[in-house]
Amino acid sequence: MTETVIHLHKDSPPAPDAFTDEARGTLTETIIDVVHDAEPRPVDPPAGPAPADSWIAERQAYLAEAPPVVPTFLRNAAEFVNAARWTASYYGHVTAFHAIRLPVYALRLLTRAPRGLARMILRWGRWVADTEARPVEAKAAASADIEAWLTLSREHSRRVRPRRVASLAVATATGITTLVGCFLSPGWTLTATLAAATLVGLNGKKHDSRPLVTRYVATNVLRRLDSTEVIDALAAIGIEGKKGRRGVEFAAEVMRDGPGWRAEVDLPPGIEATAVLEKRAALAAAMRRPISTVWPSADRTAHPGRLVLWVAQRDPAKAGRKLWPLMKQGTADVYEPLPYGFDPRGNLIEITLMYSNLLVGGIPGSGKTSCALAIVLGVALDPTAELWIYELKGSGDLDSVKPVCHRYVSGDEDEDLEAALAGMRSGIAEYQRRAKFIKSLPASEVPDGRRVTRALAEKYPEQRLGPRVIVIDEVQELFTHADYKDEAAALATRLIKKGRAYGLILILLTQNPDAPSLPSSVSSSVGTRLCLAVMDWRANNNVLGTGAYDRGLRATDISIDEQGTGILARGREGFTVRAAFIKQTEAEDIGKRALALRMAAGTLTGQAVGAAVEEQDVETILDHLRAIWPDGVETVHSHRLVEALAAYRADLYRPWLDMDAAGASTALSAALKPFKVSTRQLTIRECCGGAKGLRYADLPAAEDGE
């Protein structure tokens, strides 16, 4: 073997072309030694003594992840007050529970009193007669041990005589006292007798009788989690180390975490935490716990094989509801996260709408109305936010916010669908107006980027830059309508992509999250997604994004009985959340409070003040042509463009279909003339030879502010 050793020295000029220009400035000499027959070197350095600072390093590593010295509930005043309140509530409830049943307990004791009295008399008689010594005397007599028998007899007489005298005295005193008490104080005597009888009843319980005190069996309060259960459950689903390899290891001890327990587990080498997420139902079955109490998740901040298993002490599906934070008082700010619901641990989960959009999908009955209420009521409590709601089911589920809406439509007729289309067109017109204004501002006023902010909205009130939230419930009615689906998909996609920076927020809710009901151009553009219970992985990925099912974001594991529960995702990460349940009567009260806030702030507009809403439409035929132009096609004949336009915007272009091909081509040419775009004779062999047509390159490029 030959080994080449390169030594670098200073103070001598380097060899020509030996190093780069940068190296020449620092290295001065190169000597290359070639060593023949060199021994191979180990790649791992030999184990030597521990470095001097290893003790310090270990202490630093400990402090980096050390548990808090003072428990959380003592460091946080709110948590301490909450814990104290619940502790007092618990013991107060237990005290009241048993206090109200005291007469029942007393009656049970009285029924046991005769048996208890008989047992006491029997024991007293055995004590007076000293029956425990009889077997010893009998044994001495049987063995003809005269001396022992005489000794035992004398001892027996010495012990029995005082007991008989004491028993006679107690019986006489008790009888006289009871007789006198019956004549002098009959009430007190009866009370004392009953009290004595109840005490005697404590001794009258049968071995197979039911307990004296009524016990509440909490079937939804589960046993404590321990490491043995975790290891056994993981092994039952096939997660265990192979022969000769390390198995499951705990990164931290199993600890209390809110209303449950938390276990941090390092899975065997080569196994990712997603392997457990895929088998959540099997894991719950192995642990013999309800699936709604078992919540595995991956801790990617550590490594892909780190599993965090949280197990609820109480079944969240059977727990009492937690109130929405804004139920009784408070206001909201759409520029900030809005309170939405709670995770399985009971922690408040907020949802961010600003600079994002929201897609909510789930099968019928999965709790979409609860989600919609928690969202729109939060928006309604921001007096500066403008609400446009199109409830295309016609059920009136969102009527509680109708008094504060700039535009409110409820119904499933064609005119209602057309109103929703008009609302999105108006949203596009609004973002174009705002884009022009934002573009005109100096960079000093938009240091965080050219987008609408609370500061800009307050500085330029005349520009009306407050958030505009457009909610379309049952949006599948638009996306599956034969006449409106193409335009609806194009408008929603454009509004989602370009409106968010300018305060335009689109919220879409659907109960059919399949491919036809949810165009990919829409679902792939939404930033925030909420998937309720769905039937298969396709619907799951349609809402949460491609690959979500494989990453462990699985709304298919959510039961339809867990209404309002879903996977909330922004980007690739997601978590389980349950919408705060708000009754319709409570929603009406919140709506009234929102109305009062807006009246005080003077921000009621549109239908809320009885004005006719003018839904602007600044889209031109150029926008419509871009929307319907076939992908990857450079030239299209005019008559084909007219057919596509009529399907896209029947209200504008359907009359052109009544013309002949030449007339329709002329109408298209006339409509394009103001934009200095003209049709020309084109020969397209794949279509129908030569005819008037248009090249896509002839269309001017679209701009945000046009």
Concatenated DSSP letters of 403-472:
GG-SEEEE--SHHHHHHHHHHHHHHHHHHHHHHHHHHHS-GGG-TT-SS--HHHHHH-GGG--S-EEEEE
The whole-number pLDDT of residue 44 equals 63
pLDDT in tens, 458-472: 999 999 999 999 999
Structure-model confidence comparison of residues 142 and 318, the more confident one: 142
Tell whether residue 369 is among the known ligand binding residues. Answer: yes
Q: Which two tokens stand for residue 413?
A: 């007729």
Residue 38 has phi, psi (to 5 degrees) of -75, 145
Q: What percent of the chain has pLDDT over 90?
A: 25
Q: Any idea which of 43-52, 211-220, 436-445 has the lowest mean pLDDT?
A: 43-52
Q: Any idea which of 35-39, 292-296, 484-488 has the lowest mean pLDDT?
A: 35-39
Q: Any idea which of 42-51, 295-304, 424-433, 692-701 has the lowest mean pLDDT?
A: 42-51
The whole-number pLDDT of residue 504 equals 94
* Closest by Cα among 705, 520, 526, 702 to 629: 702
The whole-number pLDDT of residue 219 equals 55
pLDDT surpasses 90 at 391:
yes
Residue 157 has phi, psi (to 5 degrees) of -65, -40
DSSP string of 522-568, one letter each residue: HHTT-SEEEE-S-SSHHHHHHHH-TTTTTTT--GGGS-TTSTTEEEE
pLDDT surpasses 60 at 83:
yes
Structure-model confidence comparison of residues 516 and 434, the more confident one: 434
* Closest by Cα among 561, 551, 503 to 529: 551
Tokens 């009246």 sit at which residue? 599
pLDDT in tens, 360-387: 999 998 889 889 999 999 999 999 999 9
Q: Any idea which of 216-220, 320-324, 389-393, 423-427 has the lowest mean pLDDT?
A: 216-220
Domain 227-318 CATH (choose: 1.10.3470, 3.30.980, 3.40.50, 3.20.20): 3.30.980
pLDDT surpasses 50 at 550:
yes
Q: pLDDT band for 357, please (50, 70, 90 cuts).
A: very high
Q: Mean pLDDT across the stretch 570-597?
A: 90
pLDDT in tens, 421-460: 999 999 998 988 999 999 999 988 888 888 999 999 999 9
Residues 6+ apart with CB under 8 A from 420: 390, 392, 409, 472, 478, 488
Structure-model confidence comparison of residues 69 and 569, the more confident one: 569
Tell whether residue 368 is among the known ligand binding residues. Answer: yes
Rounded Cα–Cα distance for residues 542 and 455 (Å) = 36
DSSP alpha helix (H) spans, 185-207: 186-201
Tell whether residue 367 is among the known ligand binding residues. Answer: yes
* Closest by Cα among 492, 490, 486 to 470: 492
Rounded Cα–Cα distance for residues 668 and 656 (Å) = 9
Highest mean pLDDT: which range of 237-241, 380-384, 393-397: 380-384
Per-residue CA distances from 152 to 130, 157, 163 (Å): 12, 9, 17
Q: Which two tokens stand for residue 590?
A: 């919140």
Structure-model confidence comparison of residues 694 and 321, the more confident one: 694
Core vs surface per residue 641-675: b (16+ CB within 10 A) or e: bbbbbbbbbbeebeebeeeeeeebbbbbbebbeee
The whole-number pLDDT of residue 252 equals 84
CA angle 470–474–480, rounded 5-degree value: 110
pLDDT in tens, 296-311: 888 878 888 899 999 9
pLDDT surpasses 80 at 487:
yes
Q: Any idea which of 42-56, 194-208, 603-617 has the lowest mean pLDDT?
A: 42-56
pLDDT surpasses 90 at 212:
no
CATH architecture of 353-609: 3-Layer(aba) Sandwich (3.40)
CB 558 within 8 A of CB 571: no
Q: Which two tokens stand for residue 326?
A: 């804004």
The whole-number pLDDT of residue 9 equals 45
Classify burial at 603, counting beta carbons within 10 Å of its beta carbon; exposed 0-12, middle 13-18, buried 19 or more: middle
Highest mean pLDDT: which range of 73-77, 167-171, 299-303, 490-494: 490-494
pLDDT surpasses 50 at 617:
yes
Position 242, amino acid: K
pLDDT surpasses 70 at 690:
yes
The whole-number pLDDT of residue 170 equals 83
CB 431 within 8 A of CB 498: yes
Counting every residue written for the chain, the total comes to 706
Q: Which helix (H) or strand (E) holds 339?
A: strand 338-342
The whole-number pLDDT of residue 62 equals 74
Structure-model confidence comparison of residues 120 and 6, the more confident one: 120
pLDDT in tens, 248-274: 888 888 888 878 889 999 998 888 888
| Pairing mode of beta strands 255-256, 260-266 | antiparallel
What is the sign, positive or negative, of the torsion defined by CA atoms of 59, 60, 61, 65? positive
Q: pLDDT band for 293, please (50, 70, 90 cuts).
A: confident
Residue 566 has phi, psi (to 5 degrees) of -160, -175
Q: Mean pLDDT across the stretch 136-152?
A: 78
Rounded Cα–Cα distance for residues 672 and 646 (Å) = 16
Structure-model confidence comparison of residues 28 and 689, the more confident one: 689
Residues 6+ apart with CB under 8 A from 373: 397, 398, 400, 579, 582, 587
Tell whether residue 363 is among the known ligand binding residues. Answer: yes
| Helical packing angle, 621-628 and 485-499, nearest 10° | 100
Rounded Cα–Cα distance for residues 503 and 437 (Å) = 13
**DSSP designation for 676:** T
**Is 0.95 surpassed by the pTM of this model?**
no
Rounded Cα–Cα distance for residues 3 and 38 (Å) = 6
The whole-number pLDDT of residue 273 equals 86
The whole-number pLDDT of residue 339 equals 94
The whole-number pLDDT of residue 376 equals 95
Highest mean pLDDT: which range of 218-232, 544-558, 597-611: 597-611
Classify burial at 488, counting beta carbons within 10 Å of its beta carbon; exposed 0-12, middle 13-18, buried 19 or more: buried
pLDDT surpasses 60 at 662:
yes
Tell whether residue 470 is among the known ligand binding residues. Answer: no
pLDDT surpasses 70 at 496:
yes
The whole-number pLDDT of residue 22 equals 44
The whole-number pLDDT of residue 221 equals 64
* Closest by Cα among 1, 21, 24 to 10: 24
Q: Which sequence spans correspond to the domains of the chain?
A: 83-203, 227-318, 353-609, 621-698
The whole-number pLDDT of residue 73 equals 62
The whole-number pLDDT of residue 593 equals 93
**How many other CB atoms are found less than 10 A from the CB of residue 705?**
14
Rounded Cα–Cα distance for residues 240 and 246 (Å) = 9
